[in-house]
Structure 1
Amino acid sequence: MESGLDDKVIIVEGTSDKRKVLSVLKEDIEVICTNGTISLSRLDELVDELYNKDVYILVDADESGEKLRKQFKRELPEASHLYIDKMYREVATAPAYHIATVLLSANIDVNMEFVEQRMS
């Protein structure tokens, strides 16, 4: 594996969240779905898999998303937490320009057309 490019991972809740994130990414980044909840055994596997990678947590701004975020803060304290605006509630339903802006703020390369949409 090349160092640098493939060392980033974004963790989201569902497949629709994953599709939304992938649609704005310019960088080749692995996006992992937890499917809403995550068992302790799966979480332990993930912690091992993600060792030495830049991990970003992007979950919904709702109760289940916050519960998942707390789990990751405990088990993966070095992960970076990205937040969507509470008015959008879900990653999947947030506008692409908003997701792009959130990812860009974490120095993740996005298709700038999404950011420019917001400016025009």
Structure 2
Amino acid sequence: MRILAHDKVIIVEGTSDRRKVKTIVKEPIEIICTNGTISASLLDEWIDILYDKDVYVLVDADSAGEKLRKQLKREFPRAEHLYIDKMYREVASAPEFHLAAVLIAANIEVHTQYLDRG
């Protein structure tokens, strides 16, 4: 079983989502991927390692993302769900300023240059 070094964890769908969020976040935080789906065995492992962490869910604003969000709501009822605007559809394609605003609203420290719309 994997040990996580940080108290905050963001669950995203894919590696491109993880890369984008990682560049924006300033504080030490774990960003883990479901790769679109999550197996029962991986879910069991996550339940064990995430039980004492602050968990945030940031998935795409599409049907696959909403299906995953519902599953994660059942398994992690205390997780905070972060939502991107539906017009962007995917975390990876959302503008950095939008993601920064979503993250900062959840009290996640971000690099200030991403708060600029320009």
Which interval holds the TM-score relative to the shorter structure? over 0.9
1:1-120 maps to which residues of 2 (within 5 A)? 6-115=6-115, 117-118=116-117
- SS across alignment from 1:48: helix
CA apart distance, 1:40? 1.5
TM-score by length of 1: 0.92
SS at match of 1:110: coil
The root-mean-square deviation of aligned C-alpha atoms, in Å, is: 1.1
Deviation for aligned residue 1:82:
0.2
In 2, Cα distance between equivalents of 1:73 and 1:14? 18
Following TM superposition, the consecutive aligned residue runs of length 4 or more in structure 1 with deviations greater than 6 angstroms are none
Distance 2:112 2:106 in 1: 14
Match of 1:81, SS state, is strand
Unaligned runs of 5+ in 1: none
- What are structure 2's unaligned runs of at least 5 residues? none
Structure 2 distance, partners of 1:81, 1:48, is: 20
Q: Deviations over 1:18-38 (max 9, x none)?
A: 001001010110000000000
Taking structure 2 as the reference length, the TM-score comes to 0.94
Paired residues in the alignment total 114
Q: CA deviation at 1:41?
A: 1.6
